[in-house]
A = this chain, B = another copy of it.
C-alpha cells in the first residue's frame, strides 16, 4: 500500500483533537459557516458537477445514476440547509448521561466522547459529502470521505468549501478530508488502518457494503438491505392498514424504508387482499402473490422464495396470506433483514407480541415504515441506518457518533486502604 491514505488519516486524526476541544458553540459556528460557504461557492461546485455529468454522459450511465449525481442550485441550497439543521442540533459531546454516587463516595459519571476519526465510503450522491461531514463534526469527530468515482469532482469541490469554512472559523480543514485519488487500492488501505480509523460506515448498494465488510480491519457499522414488512393482523382497521400500505410502498419505492412484503392474517384476507391489490395496482405496483392470495384475486404473478427475501426498491411487492401472528413472526425472522417491521392491529396483546418477538432495529405499531428515518424519529439528521446489532441499531444520528466513557471523582479513595 502506498501510505497515501495513512498520511491523510494521520492529519485528520490530528485535526480531530482541535474539533473535540473547540466546544459546542465553536462547532455550531463552524457548521453555519460551512453552510454559508457552500452557497457562496455555488458556481464552482456546479461547474465541477457539470464536469462529472459530462464524463458520466460520455461513458453512458443509467438515468437513475445520473439523477443521483446531478446538482442544481436548488439541490445545493438543500445541501446547505441540511448542514444548517445539523448546526442547530444539540451538541452531544461532553454530555453527562448518568451520574451515580457509590457507597464509598466516588461519583461515577457516564459522559459522551467523540468516536474520533470516522470514514464514510459511499457512492454517487455528492450531497453525502456535506451531510456526513456535518454530522461527524457536530459530534466532535473528523471525517475521512471516499465517495464514488463518478462524483469525484463534485465531492472535491464541496469538500474544498467545507475546509475553507473550517479554516475561516479557526479550525483545521483536515477535519474534513476527501480521498481524491480514485484508485481502488486506497479503499483497501483505508479499511486496513486499524489504529487510525475508529469507525467505517459504508453507504450504498449491497455490493459496496459487502466489499467493506469483507475487507475491513477497522470497526464497521453497516446498513444492509431494508426488507421491510407490513403485517396486517386479524383485528386491523382495514382503512388504517391500507393507508400504511400505500404510504410504505408507493410514496418512494427506491428507499430502504419502503415496504417490500405484505403479510395478511387469514381471518381478514378475503376482505383485505382484494382491497390491497386494487390499491396497489391503481398505483402501478406489481404484486407477487402466494397461492392463497391468488385464490382471492385472479391474475396475480406467483411469488417465489426469492421474492420474499428481495429488496425490490421498485414498484413491486410480495404478498402472503399467513395463518396467524406466529406465522407472521416466523416469516419475518426467516426472510427479513432486521431493518423495519410494521404491524397494523387493534389488539394491544398482538402488538406487544410482535414487538417482543422481532429483534429488528425498528418495530412499528400502526405507523408507516417510511418513518424509519433519523429525522422522522427525532434524531435531527442521520448518517445511515444500521442493521448491525452493535454500537448503533437503526437510524444513526449525532449521538451514535459518540461513545460513553467513565469519569470518576473522589477525595482520595483507594481500593485497599492501608491496614484495611
A362 to B110, CA, bound (A): 9
Specify which of B102, B359, B368 is in contact with A413 (CB 8 Å cutoff): B368
Smallest Cβ-Cβ distance to A110: which chain B residue: B394
Q: Which residues of A are at the interface with B, using a C-beta cutoff of 8 A? A: 20-21, 94, 100, 102, 106, 108, 113-116, 194, 198-199, 213-214, 217, 219-221, 237, 239-240, 243-244, 246-247, 251, 351, 355-357, 359-368, 370-372, 376-378, 388-395, 403-416, 418
Do A194 and B213 form a contact, CB below 8 Å, given A108-B378, A378-B100? yes
- Residues in chain B near residue A113, CB distance under 8 A: 359, 389, 393
A13 to B94, CA, bound (A): 37
A198 to B251, CA, bound (A): 34
Do A366 and B412 form a contact, CB below 8 Å, given A115-B390, A213-B194, A407-B355? yes
- The number of times this chain is found in the oligomer is 2
* Chief secondary structure at chain A's binding surface: mixed
- Minimum Cβ distance to chain B for residue A370 (Å): 4
A415/B247 in contact, CB under 8 A: yes
A414/B370 in contact, CB under 8 A: yes
Do A412 and B361 form a contact, CB below 8 Å, given A390-B199, A403-B393? no
- Residues in chain B near residue A413, CB distance under 8 A: 366-368, 371
Do A366 and B410 form a contact, CB below 8 Å, given A403-B393, A405-B361? yes
Most buried by B among A243, A362, A415: A415
Smallest Cβ-Cβ distance to A363: which chain B residue: B407
A177 to B393, CA, bound (A): 26
A174 to B214, CA, bound (A): 28
11 examples of A-B residue contacts, CB within 8 angstroms: A116-B359, A219-B220, A239-B412, A243-B414, A351-B409, A364-B407, A367-B412, A368-B413, A368-B415, A391-B403, A394-B406
The 8 closest A-B pairs by CB, nearest first: A367-B410, A247-B414, A240-B412, A370-B415, A391-B391, A362-B406, A364-B408, A251-B416
